[in-house]
Every structure is written in C-alpha cells, then in structure tokens.
Amino acid sequence: DAGVIQSPRHEVTEMGQEVTLRCKPISGHDYLFWYRQTMMRGLELLIYFNNNVPIDDSGMPEDRFSAKMPNASFSTLKIQPSEPRDSAVYFCASSFRTSSSYNEQFFGPGTRLTVL
Amino acid sequence: ILNVEQSPQSLHVQEGDSTNFTCSFPSSNFYALHWYRWETAKSPEALFVMTLNGDEKKKGRISATLNTKEGYSYLYIKGSQPEDSATYLCARMDSSYKLIFGSGTRLLVRP
C-alpha cells in the first residue's frame, strides 16, 4: 500500500480564495482524521470520520471550514474563504479499529498551506 | 492535569548518551497512550500504542513505560544516535477514539 496520500503537497493562495485539500486513506482503514499543525497550537484534531460518517467536528475552527468523505477512499477539507491565519500544515491520518485494540494512526505527508 | 503535557520541551545530547522524556496526561477515561516520532519535513510515525497500567514496550534502543493510575509515560532512548534526532510526540486516547497530542519533545543528538 502507498500509505496515506494527500494532495496538493503545497498550496499558496490569496486571502478570500477557496482551498480544497484532498486525502486518500490506506485501503481497509475505517477511521480518517484531519489535523492542523501550527507553531502556536501544535498538532490539533479538526474532524474525524468513521466509516465515512463525521463523528466529531468540534475541532473545526469556524464555519469557513468544512470536510466531507463521500466514500471510503477519499476525503476533502475545504476552506472558504481562506484567511492568512489558516496558513499551516494540514495532515490527514487513517487507522482501523478492532474490538481488542486501539491502533496507531498513519499520517500522510501533509499539505503546507500558505494564504497571502 | 487537564491536557497532555510533555517535558522537556527540547533536549540536546551527545551521541551515545541515554535519555528519557516524560508525558503526563489526565488519568480519567483513559483508553490508550500513543508515542510518535516526527522527523523534520516528514510526517509522524507511530512508535508505540500502550493501554494497560504497567505496560512496557520496546523497539530496538527505544522503550516506553506507562502508569495509567498516576497519568504518566516515559520514553527512553539508550545510546542515542544522530538519526534519533526528531520530535517525539505523545498522545492520549479516550473513549471517543480521539487523540489529544502533547506539544512534543524536540531531541537533537550531536555526533
């Protein structure tokens, strides 16, 4: 398996533009997580899905952020309109859960977003 | 303790030194404790997932212990090598399956 795939790897955009980040989880994983990493706040969870259903979006900063998972192999994180303070590295991670274990999360390479 | 806290924030050691870091976390509603290794310009990679009080795990020169009653975990690196230089993150999982990460310990091993 190629691991968690994210695109684009880098995105530079102007304030007010819409930004869409994409993620393909590892095949067979039933959990998908979106994180944001900043110097000030470290690695923080934005939203996570289980079997394509959003479970907890309490980490989503505001209504400008939205996430979808239309099927088991694809998820998007959208920011509309983008603002300079959204500049960060956004990671997608996936994992699978069994009844007897709490498995590690596998992280994608991240998308470095710069909003000018 | 309300959040996941890691200490020290950064650590510089000489090649061959052994070192350890601490992760403190709320002990209530505890499900699992994860350790991740995060190299610069890469993504975090899992080292250990620990669930039971008294758990000890080992991978090569790196080992970890867990105390769920008092809410702490230690990560040990024996005979540090320059390639061990990275940020080491711990994260606590509760019943919601969410991971709450600490701010990490940044380790630099000098040759």
In DSSP notation, A28-47 reads T--EEEEEEEETTTEEEEEE
- Local confidence band at A40 (pLDDT 50, 70, 90 cut-offs): confident
Low-confidence ranges of chain B (pLDDT < 50): none
Q: For residue A18, what pLDDT is reported?
A: 97
- Residue A28's contacts (CB-CB under 8 Å, 6 or more residues apart) are A96
Least confident among A22-26, A56-60, A86-90:
A56-60
What residue in B sits closest to A50 (Cα-Cα)?
Answer: B97
Judged by CB atoms closer than 8 Å, whether chains meet at A42 and B102 is answered as yes
**Does the CB of B62 have a partner CB in chain A at under 8 Å?**
no
Judged by CB atoms closer than 8 Å, whether chains meet at B97 and A45 is answered as no
Residue ranges of B 91-110 with Cβ closer than 8 A to chain A: 93, 96-104
- pLDDT beyond 60 at A1: yes
- Local confidence band at A29 (pLDDT 50, 70, 90 cut-offs): very high
CA B70 to CA B86: how far, in whole Å?
27
- Mode of pairing for the β-strands spanning A106-107 and B56-59: unpaired
What residue in B sits closest to A33 (Cα-Cα)?
Answer: B98
In our burial notation (b when 16+ CB lie closer than 10 A, e otherwise), range A22-31 reads bbbbbeebeb
Which amino acid belongs to residue A30? D
Q: For residue A105, what pLDDT is reported?
A: 92
Contact B88, B44 (CB under 8 A): no
Q: For residue B79, what pLDDT is reported?
A: 97
CA A19 to CA B55: how far, in whole Å?
43
Least confident among A9-23, A73-87, A94-108:
A94-108
CA A5 to CA B41: how far, in whole Å?
16
- Local confidence band at A4 (pLDDT 50, 70, 90 cut-offs): very high
